[in-house]
Structure 1
Amino acid sequence: MRIVDVEPQLLQDLIAEMQVTDTKQKNGLTVKVGLHPTLGRVVVVSGPDGHGMMVEME
């Protein structure tokens, strides 16, 4: 498992490419969980400014 900081444009590309299975919002943060075609299971966390991070689950 690894955590990677992600710029806003790459974050949007990741979300567009993945099959989102669940989404949750709280305190200005958005968490999306899903399957990416090449990365497998991922968790994407984004803030109100568009920046965020991705957790790649092995």
Structure 2
Amino acid sequence: MSVNAHLQELRRKHQTLSCQVEEAQRSPGSDGLQLSHLKKQKLQLKQEIERLSVQQVG
């Protein structure tokens, strides 16, 4: 898998997690622990995307 394809897949996963986080935040009975876990996953993906983007440019 090329770096570009990998970055696209990571961005797709990040967007999916964003939607899940927003949905959980709107839900009155959402599990705070689950929301925290989703946010952590989202942050990890963002950091990986940034790391790969910098490597690709440099």
TM-score (normalizing by structure 1): 0.31
User: Comparing both chains, which one has the higher relative contact order based on Cα–Cα distances under 8 Å and sequence gaps of 6 or more?
Assistant: 2
Structure number having the greater helix percentage: 2
TM-score (normalizing by structure 2): 0.31
Structure number having the greater strand percentage: 1
